[in-house]
Every structure is written in C-alpha cells, then in structure tokens.
Structure 1
C-alpha cells in the first residue's frame, strides 16, 4: 500500500514540475543563447591601421610585445567559401584597412559571425605579406605565415562583449563605382559592393554554368567565374570547391554584388560569403550591343553584294538593313574589299577567348523559295561558319533566345586553304520547306576562339529568290 502511495506522489510531483516548466515557455519558442565573450584582453594599445603599417616589404615581422587592437569580422565560412581564414576590417563602415588571420580551425562563423567585434593580441604572431595579401599568423617551420593551432586561437583572438553577449555590429560595405575600383591594395580584406554587375556572357551562354565545376567523381573544384560591369571593367569571383551551394546555377541578370576583396600574388580574386551576396535581378547590360537593324525590310527576293556600302572609314560594322550582333567576344562582321570586290569578313586570329557573332538577314519566307551565297575561308583550322533560319527573332533583341534551325549541312563550306586565302565561290542553294512561312531571318553564325578555331570567313552575294 505504501509503495502505491509513494508511486502516486512521485507521479503527481513529476506532472506538476513539467506543467510548471511548460507554463514558462510561450508558444514553444526558445531564444537563441547569446554567443559567449569574455573581454579577455585589456584596452587596445594600437589602432589596427598602425599595426598593419608595420608590415615589412618582404618576409615577416614577429610581434614580440603586447599589441592589442580591435576589428570587425566580414568573412564567413558557414557556406564553405572561406577555409581556415578570417577576414576583418578596422571599422564597420568606411574602413581604412583590412587584415586576414590564418587559423587551423573550421566553422569559425559559429564563434565569430559577420559583424563580430573582436580584439586581438598579436604578441607571438607573425605579420607579413603572403602571396599579395597582408596576413597575421603563427610561427611555422614551412610557411612564412602559418595557421594558428585550434587550441591556441583563444590566446590571440577574443570577442568583445556588448549587452548580454558578443558585440555584433552591422557591416556597411564600401560602395564602389566599378570593379576596377575594387582592385585597390588598400581595399584588400575589406567588404565592398559594386553596382551594375553581371556574369560574363561566356559564363551563361550557350549553357548557364554553376558556381563551381565538378570532377568526374562529383568532387567540387576551386573555380573562377568572370564578372563585368557596365563601365567595361571585369573581375574574377573565386569559389571554393567546398562551397555548399556551388551546384546552384549562376544568376543571368544584372545588379549589385558584395564581396571581400582579395588577391593571390598579382591576380585579383573577389570572394563572396554566400550566393545572397549576389543580387542580379535586373536586365543584363550588353557590352557589345547589336549594330544596324534600323531599316529592316522583309523581302522574298533580293541580292546583297555589299557594293552599296562605303569602304571609308574602313572596316564598316553597321548595316541598317541587317543586324550585326556579337554574343561572345567583341568582334563584328566587317566590310572588306579585295580586287575591287566588297564582302563581309570575320575571324578569331590574334583574338582572346571565344567569339560568337551573328549576321541576321531579314526574309519574307512566304514569298521566298531559296537561299544561296558565296563563301571563302582563310587559314582554315576548323569549321567556324553555321547557317540557320529563325522565325521568332526580334531585331536587336536577345538573339540567343531565338529558335534556330540549322541548315549548314545544305551548303558546301571550304576547309582549305590552311595557309593563306582561297577565293569566293558559291556555297550551294537551299530550298526553303513549304511549311516555312511568315517573316524571319537567315542567321550566319561565326564561332571561333583566339586559342582554338581562328578560321577567317568571308561572305558575299547573299541571295534570296
């Protein structure tokens, strides 16, 4: 009987305690505990700017006295794009200097999230320039600036308290005008934002790339992605092979980008913390816009021999009746003359990177029956010309969105000579299918690469009848 009574007493007591605990929690929401801090170090003894000013022009300096200064965290390894490094600057806005500290420790974001107010005592550490960047780290038998062992990080780095826990401030990125402005040694390891930026067209066309590449086994690779701004300057976004969202597709629009400025030797590498640093929601800016297209006329019978165009100034690129549109690279179809004969020409010789340029010819397919043209090649080292028709291209619009039907195989495109130039000759005649009606375009596509196919293509006597 006593056992039963004791059991009931224990049960009622347990229920009462649980009820009391439950009544203290509103809507089952638990507050995130504050990040602990200790104010371990006394007041600062030197500004971060004055500390960094001690860096030698070569080698490193071993700090042998208590040199204590404050900084604010701007990097984050939460998404895997920073690895065993912490970048911080001397102010939350308009910083005068940035610094990188090497630590043999991962998941630093948990202890020091972005905006954390930190205090560093550099006594016992090395200060130096390592591969183009000012760094702070430990003594190391192999490297000039080594990683501070995980167990010793707290000896040198501590959070500054504010309120009930770590003092975390809002970082205001330095607003720049262009990517070229970001390539400033004074901005290394500081947070900046640049407007009107987009990924280079080669990163999103003909296929949209991911933030990082992967090997055959699915392992992420450190990857560079090229960006450009409306002023024509460019930069590289460097992404780690461990970037957690590296498999996401690159955004194809235009907008603001925020990054930590970095440099590897003489190569500038901009580092994002996460894909949320990229806000490309606007319309892309075309660095090499289409030319011509101001006098489009759809006809079912015409001959274009280019004799009506002036050769002065030379290398004409604007043809009002047609559209001349580089999708990759910056080369346009240009007017040339040889033996008093005019034609258009394009090649990738002495170029840099890929080239894709279209010459769009308007056609009334309902009235037209066939297409023919003359073609010549120079210094052939690969096929560079394709021919298409399309019925849904809007003149001066995004030609990459047009539905193209490839009719290249209907023509004979020379594959000689490999040295020098041949002569213009008929490529053949293509009869349009009876189902092809309405207004549209014939597209002559040049595809080459400064380090690959550089074949020169010449076109003349484009005739629809």
Structure 2
C-alpha cells in the first residue's frame, strides 16, 4: 500500500510539472529577468569588453568581413563564408518577430532601436523564437569564444542562399553546385553564443520611401507612409490560397503623376494570411527582406498591427496643371568647355576635371548630334575627382508644388558615383558649396550595368516639401586609378551624362 501511494503521488507531481511547464504560443510574457547562466555569461562579456580582452564590433564591421566577390568578377558565385577566428562580440536589437508565423527559424537584428544604419540576419534551427528573442530585445552574440571542447568555435558570416546578398550569421557551412553558404545555428550554439540583456526597447521604424529602399536596409524595421493596395486587389486577402508558400501583393504610393510600387510578401504559415487587405491609404511598417530567389527586395510583416490604412486613397496629379519654369538641354553651351551660363555652377572640389558640354553620338535619347553635360575621371591623372554641377536657384515659395526631371546615361561607369542632392541654404558662392547642407533626393540615376547608349528617365522628383530657395546638385565621385591597379581592377573613372533638366511647377 505504501508503494502504491508513493507511485500515485509521484505521477501526480509529474503531471503537475508537465501542465505548468507548457506555455501557449498566444499566451506568453517576456521574462523580466534572465537565467543565472545567461546572466553570468553576459556579465563576463561586458567585463571583457570593458577591460579590452573582448572586442565589440558593429554590425556593419561584421558584415564587411564577408567578401561577396573575392575574384572581382562582378558576381558572388565564388564567395566563401568567413569563419570568425577572433573573440569578438556584436550587439543588436531584434527587429523581426516570428510570433505570427511570417518568419521561420530566423531573426534580424539592427544596430540601434531607432535610426539604424545596419542590420544582419541570424538563422537558428528553432521555431517560436519570439519567446526568447522578442522584438526590441537587446542581444549580444559572441562569435568565437575561447576553445570549448564541447562546442565548435567560430561562427560564420555569409549568405544562406548563394548570391542573395542577405548577409547572415550561421553556425556552419555547406557547399553545392551553386556555391558555399552558411547553415543554421544549432540549439547548443545559440545557447552558448547568443545572450539577451534585460533591456527591451521599442523599435522605432525608419521612415523611408519605396525609392530609397536598398540592400543596405535588409533586416531593418522600416515605415512607408502614403501607401495603399491597388484597386484590383480589393476583396483579396494577404495570402492567395492558390499559392503554395508565399504570396506577393503590390503596394503603391502616389508619386506625382504616377505610382511607385513595392512588394509585400506573406507566408502561407502566417496566422493572418486569410485577413482581408485594407482598402484605405496610410502607413505600413515591416522588415526589408528579399524573395527566395533574391530577384527582388520585399517587405515582410511582423504583424498586421503594423498596417494602418485608415485614410482616404491618394489621387495622382494631372500633368496639365503644371508648367515648366526651367528647361535646359545644354544646346547653348560651348562644346568641350566647362558648363557655364543659364545659372549653372560647375565646381571641382577635388581634381582638375570638371563638368563640360559634349556632343553625343548616342543613338538613344537625346540622339546623335545633341549636346549633353558630361563628367568622367578617365585620364585625369589623379585618384580622386569630386565635381559638382549645380542648377540655378528655384523659388519654392512661389507655388505649392514643384518637381524636377532629367535623363542620365553612362559610358563605362566603372564604379564611379553620381549623387542627386538638394540644398536650401547654399548661398550661391562656390567656396561655400561643401559647407552647405545637402540632402539626397530619390531620383532614378542610370545604373552601372546599363547599356552605354541608353538614357534613363529620373522620374518626377517631388521637391514640394522643401521651402525657400533651393538648388539641385549632381555630385560626381570618381578617380583615375588605372595607373595604380591592374587593368579593370578597382577603377572608378567612368563617365556620367545628363540632359533635359526640367523644373515643373503647379499652375
């Protein structure tokens, strides 16, 4: 009888433990403190950083350790993940959440809870990661602690899929016919390398436009305003039941006379997949990511709580309501001379080469025999050429709305850069150009891989949010490095060309 009674009590105790140990996925709370082992490990890391025995690196520095194109052949099919071989730590704040099932065995961390400058992906062979790595949690990752016979050293920095340019922290590598990629951290690796602090911050979304989203934003929590789903998606859900894994829905924003578009992707495993798409206009906050085949940047929701489309739908502008207040096709400029006249300022910040007027032989727009503004560092003989071409002043207070439009082309751009900038505090004096405040504008600039005779339209660039007197600048950054490098290696001496610069204002 005593034995039976003991067994009964033991079984009851086991059942009680089992019941109290189960936590419903939709009923959880973030722990206010951490386990003793995790606390001790984190304290050791912080002490090591303080006394200099452990180096803390930024997310940007960590990502830079991975060379995506070691052969300098223009692609990354030859890239090999980098195994960390020093005792370094990276800190970040969790920007993603798999609570709704829209992420799977992965988290993203960004370098700050607001105004982030870099983010990185971490793949972990676990589900329901939100229970431990909740959004906003401050996390330290020790990538190569001192040798432990039970745990292999040196985590890897690379790509989860060859060529997708989503830089990722992984626990190992694997190689197939496409290349070498990183694999997930196992549970033991994650537990021994990833340590939470007790800090959880509210992640403030980085406010950005569709045109500004780039690979640099992958993993960041961003917000886009003035967004809606197209009319043809009314009565549709986030997920299309005819799809197997993911559904892509177009997002649009009124961008002057046309829409700018982006992709929202939703997983078949998300718990909001059958929710109806909202029909209004507003803001959306999501993680910047990429499609599985890496063909496109996408937005991925943590939750539909981050979709606020309660406003009225936007309306496109009517071109007939606008007129040109400035238009220059550079035909009045002297061929092979520095651009001057018509209010333009050409300024060489570094080097002696400057913007000049040339007669084009291109068969595309504007066509052979027409004049263009051109700048290239080839044969300049100096390693740094920085030159500015600045428009005449634009009075932004004379009307309600203004747009800028132009076309660009390149000739063997060779990694030189062309920036599009606006200033409302430059006083027109050349000596004050570099000390003025210049802000990047989101116009479309011809890409490096465009055919050299093609001309690319900038789109209509809205500058109506600025006030006062403005100047638009094209800033060329390049250099003649051909004498210091093997042929076609590291050169930044390409040429950019501009034509048909216009300023449109609302009548």
Q: TM-score, normalised by structure 1?
A: 0.51
2:278 aligned residue (241, 251, 264) = 251
Q: Which residues of 2 match residues 168-317 of structure 1 at below 5 A? A: 168-176=200-208, 178-182=209-213, 184-204=214-234, 208-215=235-242, 221-231=245-255, 232-264=259-291, 265-287=294-316
Summarize the Cα distance change of 1:118–1:236 in structure 2 as closer, same or farther, 3 Å threshold.
Answer: same
SS at match of 1:186: helix
Deviations along 1:287-312, one digit per CA (max 9) or x if unpaired, are: 48899xxxxxxxxxxxxxxxxxxxxx
For 1:237 and 1:31, the matched residues in 2 are separated by: 29
For 2:301 and 2:29, the matched residues in 1 are separated by: 29
Is contact 1:262-1:269 (8 Å) kept?
yes
Is contact 1:75-1:88 (8 Å) kept?
yes
Is contact 1:212-1:221 (8 Å) kept?
no
**Are positions 1:48 and 2:48 aligned together?**
no
Which residue pairs with 1:369 in the alignment? none
Is contact 1:230-1:287 (8 Å) kept?
yes
Larger-gyration structure (1/2): 1
For 1:141 and 1:132, the matched residues in 2 are separated by: 17
SS at match of 2:284: strand
2:192 aligned residue (145, 155, 165) = 155
1:138, CA displacement in angstroms? 1.6
Deviations along 1:238-277, one digit per CA (max 9) or x if unpaired, are: 1111010110000011000101111242311111101111
SS at match of 1:154: helix
1:53, CA displacement in angstroms? 1.9
For 1:229 and 1:62, the matched residues in 2 are separated by: 42
Is contact 1:220-1:242 (8 Å) kept?
no
Is contact 2:30-2:134 (8 Å) kept?
no
1:155, CA displacement in angstroms? 1.6
Q: TM-score, normalised by structure 2?
A: 0.47
Gapped regions of structure 1 (runs ≥ 5): 1-29, 161-165, 292-465
Deviations along 1:336-376, one digit per CA (max 9) or x if unpaired, are: xxxxxxxxxxxxxxxxxxxxxxxxxxxxxxxxxxxxxxxxx
1:134 aligned residue (134, 152, 167) = 167
Is contact 2:81-2:173 (8 Å) kept?
no
For 2:141 and 2:174, the matched residues in 1 are separated by: 23
Deviations along 1:364-394, one digit per CA (max 9) or x if unpaired, are: xxxxxxxxxxxxxxxxxxxxxxxxxxxxxxx
Deviations along 1:389-412, one digit per CA (max 9) or x if unpaired, are: xxxxxxxxxxxxxxxxxxxxxxxx
* Aligned residues between the structures: 250
SS at match of 1:230: strand
Q: Which residues of 2 match residues 366-405 of structure 1 at below 5 A? A: none
Is contact 1:260-1:272 (8 Å) kept?
yes
Which residue pairs with 1:71 in the alignment? 92
Which residue pairs with 2:139 in the alignment? 118
RMSD of the alignment, in Å? 2.5
Summarize the Cα distance change of 1:103–1:289 in structure 2 as closer, same or farther, 3 Å threshold.
Answer: farther
Is contact 1:121-1:156 (8 Å) kept?
yes
SS at match of 1:52: helix
